[in-house]
């Protein structure tokens, strides 16, 4: 089963919590056991499972990546000025896979699923959510 989550981003770099949208897709599927994969479509976006308690961790992620991969110094910047966004997306990675246990996302209390925007703002970002059911279910 595939569903697409569509979202809008508001900043050049930000992490957006999509956990409830993924949880809603899982609930509609009625799947009890298996895997949920979330995949960011776009070469300048990524997915991350990260702490959800407050915004500080998400801001720390963005600030770390800004320090490690600064804008304006990459060969690709000559094309469209977003070389750093491509590198950040590649480093973080386009997908995350979460186990489904008894019909629930197998996240810990402090984990949520985040869409990582590195080249925003964008009016149409998409995350493909793929559910793979346990064949014995």
Range of 47's domain?
A: 2-133
Residue 59, domain CATH: 2.60.120.460
8 Å CB contact between 128 and 39: yes
Supply the pLDDT for residue 112. Answer: 98
Shortest CA distance to 116 belongs to which of 51, 40, 54? 40
Beta-carbon contacts of 82 under 8 Å, excluding residues fewer than 6 positions away, are 44, 71, 76, 118, 119
pTM, whole model, 2 decimals?
Answer: 0.95
Higher pLDDT, 136 or 89: 89
Domain count, the chain: 1
pLDDT at 137 over 80: no
pLDDT at 91 over 90: yes
């Amino acid at each position: 089963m595939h569903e697409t989550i569509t979202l809008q981003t508001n900043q050049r770099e930000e992490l957006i919590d999509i956990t409830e949208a993924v949880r809603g897709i899982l609930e509609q599927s009625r799947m009890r056991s298996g895997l949920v994969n979330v995949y960011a479509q776009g070469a300048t976006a990524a997915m991350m499972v990260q702490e959800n308690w407050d915004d500080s961790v998400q801001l720390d992620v963005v600030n770390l990546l800004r320090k490690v991969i600064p804008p304006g110094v990459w060969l690709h910047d000559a094309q469209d000025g977003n070389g750093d966004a491509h590198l950040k997306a590649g480093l973080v990675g386009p997908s995350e896979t979460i186990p489904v246990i008894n019909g629930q996302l197998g996240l810990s209390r402090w984990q949520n699923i985040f869409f990582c925007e590195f080249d925003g703002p964008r009016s149409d970002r998409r995350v493909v959510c793929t559910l793979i059911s346990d064949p014995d279910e």
